[in-house]
A = this chain, B = another copy of it.
């Protein structure tokens, strides 16, 4: 996930564009390309799903793999451009463990990636279901917005740095959760 130096993944309106001075730059990154290659399924929060579902389709969405959306209610109307973009959504209403289990089965030998939002990531951290955390630390202080790391419980969790990539305009760091 992309996060500002002060810990936000979006501004108070839920918009993450303020993190990126140059979106084209992000799209071409080494870390992103590697992650897409390794990803066999995606877990996504409902708010991220709704935000992605614009009239122009799933903007900036690069994963052509099964996507499992955490939600309390299955939407009555399907996303506007699913079929055209080849995206496959499954709505999971029985909790984060179930979503991860289904995503793992779909991913086979590949990784399950969690793509937004803060709430989904926080649920997964609390449940101890994350093996790795990859952060693109963006060189900006937003001052306010949606924090990635809060509501994750008060116990300390040791991480292990696996990889640091000093990409132009940001720092990508991958951690193993101990």
Contact = CB atoms under 8 A, between A and B. Distances in A.
Interface of A: 5-7, 11, 18, 21, 125, 133, 135, 137, 139-144, 147-150, 152-161, 164, 166, 169-171, 173, 175
B164 A6 contact: no
B161 A170 contact: yes
A6 B5 contact: no
A139 B152 contact: no
A8 B13 CA distance: 24
Contacts of A149: 5-7, 141
Contacts of A6: 7, 148-150, 152
A140 B178 CA distance: 9
B159 A141 contact: yes
